[in-house]
Amino acid sequence: MNESIKHLEEKIAHLERHVTEQDKAMLEFADELAAIRRELKVWRARAEARGAGGGGDAGGLERDERPPHY
């Protein structure tokens, strides 16, 4: 009986350590997800500003403006 109790205590200790590691990983993922969401919000705002005529296209030209070689 003493041996089975010791075995159960070892399993509980292993499971507690595993849960602690999972909690740590989940917190890291949550922080990373929050950072990605902030970055996505910035990119969306930039895309909306460009779409509204706030920044032109990637070359810095307005949509109706001809490039210099024309």
The pLDDT of residue 68 is: 81
Is residue 6 a part of any domain in this protein?
no
Dihedral of CA atoms 52, 56, 57, 62 in degrees, nearest 10, equals 120
Domain count, the chain: 1
List the pLDDT tens digit at each of the 70 positions of the chain.
799 999 999 999 999 999 999 999 999 999 999 999 999 999 999 999 998 865 555 555 566 777 788 6
Please give the residue range of the domain that contains residue 46. Answer: 25-51
In tens, the pLDDT along 57-68 reads 555 556 677 778
| Cα–Cα distance list, 29 to 18, 24, 32 (Å) | 16, 9, 5
pTM of the model: 0.57
Is residue 36 a part of any domain in this protein?
yes
